Structure 1
Amino acid sequence: MAERAMASFSQTGVSGILSMCISLGCIALAWWALQNLKLDLFIRHPQSSQGKMLHVLLAIVLGHFVANFILDYIGWSQLLRMSL
Structure 2
Amino acid sequence: MLSGFGHQALISITSHLIFIALAWWALGAINYERLLRGNHVFQARVLYVLLSIVIGSTVSNFFLDYLLWSQQLPLILQLIYKN
Q: Which runs of 5+ in 1 are unaligned?
A: 1-7
Q: Which whole-Å CA distance do the structure 1 matches of 2:71 and 2:39 have between them?
A: 43
Provide Cα deviations, 1:13-69, integer angstroms capped at 9, x if missing partner. Answer: 000000000000000000000001111232113871110110000000000110010
Map 1:5-84 → 2, pairs under 5 A: 8-45=1-38, 48-84=41-77
CA root-mean-square deviation: 1.5
**4+ runs of 1 displaced by more than 2 Å?**
none
Equivalent in the alignment of 2:80 = none
TM-score, structure 2 as length reference:
0.86
Q: Which runs of 5+ in 2 are unaligned?
A: 78-83
Identical columns (%): 42
For these two proteins, the number of residue pairs brought into alignment is 77
